[in-house]
């Protein structure tokens, strides 16, 4: 017979996780919401998944508690690629390619999170359309599925870097 525990289990947000996903973006602006779209569709017990919308700074305490080995941040980025293509953006290139639909610059945000994550991977996805009140395009939804597959099996080496 199993043991009965009177100890209250910690909520998922308070447990240490080796992998944290932060999805960023404005779901009311078409493909700008792709990071949130990925967070909403990603399921894994190994990951703490955060749909941060346009205020990722509101989720820093959860990253601090988790102290992950890998923090993956996904957002739309203007990189002059074909819509739906995605790349890892290195820290020194963030300000050059990033859309600023967030309250603080992502370079500052990432340097702040660097204290609590062993490795930060920023994935940018080239948007197709970013008009107001549009759904995420089919092309980006297909890319989102590919990213989710890569993250589920933790094959980060399959992610190409932006040159």
Q: What is the pLDDT of residues 132-151, one digit of tens each?
A: 888 899 999 999 999 999 99
pLDDT value at 104 more than 80? no
Instruction: Report the chain's mean pLDDT, rounded to a whole number.
Output: 88
Element (H, E) at 64: helix 60-66
pLDDT > 70: what percent of the chain? 87
Nearest Cα neighbor of 101 from 161, 52, 60, 65 is 52
Whole-prediction pTM value?
Answer: 0.87
Domain ranges for the chain? 14-158
CATH code: domain 14-158 is: 3.40.50.1450
- Using one digit for the tens of pLDDT, what is the confidence trace for 41-71? 999 999 999 999 999 999 999 999 999 999 9
């Amino acid at each position: 017979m199993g043991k009965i525990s009177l100890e209250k289990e910690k909520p998922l947000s308070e447990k240490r996780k080796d992998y944290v996903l932060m999805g960023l973006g404005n779901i009311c602006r078409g493909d700008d919401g792709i990071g949130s779209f990925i967070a909403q569709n990603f399921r894994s017990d190994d990951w703490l998944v955060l749909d941060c919308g346009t205020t990722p700074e509101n989720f820093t305490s959860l990253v601090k508690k988790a102290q992950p080995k890998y923090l993956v941040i996904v957002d739309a980025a203007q990189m002059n690629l074909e819509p739906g293509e995605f790349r890892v953006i290195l820290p020194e290139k963030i300000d050059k390619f990033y859309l600023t639909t967030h309250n603080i610059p992502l370079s500052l945000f990432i340097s702040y999170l660097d204290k609590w994550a062993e490795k930060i991977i920023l994935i940018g996805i080239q948007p197709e359309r970013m008009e107001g009140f549009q759904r995420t395009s089919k092309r980006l939804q297909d890319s989102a599925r590919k990213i989710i597959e890569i993250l589920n099996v933790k094959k980060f080496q399959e992610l190409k870097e932006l040159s």
